[in-house]
């Protein structure tokens, strides 16, 4: 019962809200462009309950709460593939209500609306948090030292604030970490503020091979940051910072994915349902602010992943529409069919990989062996 309350319920609530926002983006833009929406589903599989509105859209909650979909008039399935046989039999009036007979610009807008709804939710949520609670900043202050590591051996102490490295002013702990990582084995002149007194300490960051699989060793001092400081922003500054954080997170994610593709970074970092459930539970325990912050971060990742040019995802549709806009005619049916099959295999492969990582990370196999 405790596991249900602490992890399952927060996971379902978080995912349901973010999926609803994503699909609502598709729905609004589709309806705005005169597209008939047949089904708006939260979850997959058999319907648990639902209702039909005046526009003949079936709104429903389905059994498996691991996503959702909007099925539009003329769609063959939940992946929004065109039902070519049904479309050919439709009258011109009925075709005008189908997404697949709308101008390519409108179809692009409908496909892009879901991911951008997730980005908008994240930006608005973070902007409100930054204005009310404050933007969390990790100061370049030492909260803890790892015994026997470079910082402890050089004489740094808990509470020291690092203000400069090689005469370069340090903005926050993230800035400090980035500099240290790039200087494995190279001496650094670190200016420290301790009890209102400035000290200069020379440190050589330890060269380590991280478990991320990076081929190039990175620098490490062996320090942990102090508790975050919250800086309250005005309305305009909050919005600006929220957009900036969204762009920074998206950029870092894309860089990480690129490193995994070229195999300079391990795919072991990929997390699946168990990881999301664990983080949702931990965020819920930390309070409303922590939960909203986690939802904003997850919403950014959900929007970004859906823009990947993989058939079955929104990015795959955008890829086809982009090709159509350039060529002046749609991608052939056979090519689309093969692409969707390939996209399905890619999505399933990623799901299996992330699930395997979760099972290993949370030692599920050891637990099963212990009990059975």
Catalytic residues: 23
Task: Please say whether the beta carbons of 25 and 116 come within 8 A.
Answer: yes
Q: Contact, 230 vs 289, CB < 8 A?
A: no
Helix or strand run (H / E) with residue 111: helix 104-132
- Decide if 203 contacts 150 (C-beta within 8 A): yes
Neighbouring C-beta atoms of residue 335, cutoff 10 Å: 12
User: CA–CA separation, 293 vs 129, rounded Å?
Assistant: 8
CA distance 157 to 147: 11
Name the nearest CA neighbour of 291 among 3, 11, 1.
Answer: 11
Nearest Cα to Cα of residue 77 among 355, 351, 341, 350: 341
Cα gap 286→283, rounded to integer Å: 5
115, 314 Cβ separation under 8 angstroms = yes
Q: In this structure, is the dihedral angle defined by the CA atoms of residues 284, 268, 210 and 214, taken in order, positive or negative?
A: negative
Cα 37–chain centre separation: 27
Q: What is the Cα gyration radius of the chain?
A: 25
Four-point Cα dihedral 302, 308, 310, 314, nearest 10: 60
Pairing state of beta strands 206-208 and 218-220? antiparallel
Backbone angles phi, psi at 26, to 5 degrees: -60, -45
């Amino acid at each position: 019962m405790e596991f249900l309350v602490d992890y399952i319920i927060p996971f379902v609530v978080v995912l349901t809200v973010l999926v609803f926002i994503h699909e609502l983006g598709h729905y609004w833009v589709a309806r705005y462009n005169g597209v008939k929406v047949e089904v708006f589903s939260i979850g997959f599989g058999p319907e648990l309950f639902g209702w039909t509105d005046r526009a003949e859209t079936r709104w429903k909650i389905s059994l498996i709460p691991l996503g959702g979909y909007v099925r539009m008039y003329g769609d063959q399935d939940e992946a929004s593939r065109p039902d070519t046989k049904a479309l050919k039999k439709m009258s011109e009036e009925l075709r005008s209500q189908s997404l697949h007979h709308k101008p390519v610009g409108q179809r692009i807008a409908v496909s892009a609306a879901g991911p951008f709804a997730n980005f908008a939710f994240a930006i608005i949520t973070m902007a409100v948090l930054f204005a009310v609670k404050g933007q969390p900043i990790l100061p370049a202050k030492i909260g803890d030292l790892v015994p026997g590591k470079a910082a402890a051996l050089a004489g740094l102490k808990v509470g020291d604030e690092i203000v400069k490295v090689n005469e370069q002013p340090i903005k926050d702990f993230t800035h400090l970490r980035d500099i240290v990582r790039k200087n494995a084995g190279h001496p650094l002149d670190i200016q420290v503020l301790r009890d209102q007194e400035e000290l200069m300490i020379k440190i050589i960051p330890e060269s380590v091979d991280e478990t991320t699989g990076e081929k190039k060793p990175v620098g490490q001092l062996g320090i942990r940051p102090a508790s975050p400081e919250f800086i309250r922003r005005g309305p305009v500054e909050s919005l600006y910072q929220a957009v900036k954080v969204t762009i920074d997170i998206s950029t870092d994610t894309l860089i990480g994915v690129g490193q995994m593709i070229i195999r300079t970074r391990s795919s072991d970092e990929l997390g699946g349902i168990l990881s999301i459930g664990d983080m949702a539970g931990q965020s819920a325990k930390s309070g409303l602010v922590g939960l909203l912050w986690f939802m904003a971060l997850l919403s950014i990742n959900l929007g970004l992943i859906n823009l990947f040019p993989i058939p079955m995802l929104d990015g795959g549709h955008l890829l086809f529409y982009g090709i159509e806009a350039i060529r002046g005619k749609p991608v052939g049916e056979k090519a689309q069919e093969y692409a969707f099959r390939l996209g399905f295999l890619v999505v399933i492969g990623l799901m299996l990989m992330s699930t395997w990582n979760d099972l290993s990370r949370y030692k599920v196999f050891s637990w099963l062996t212990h009990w059975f």
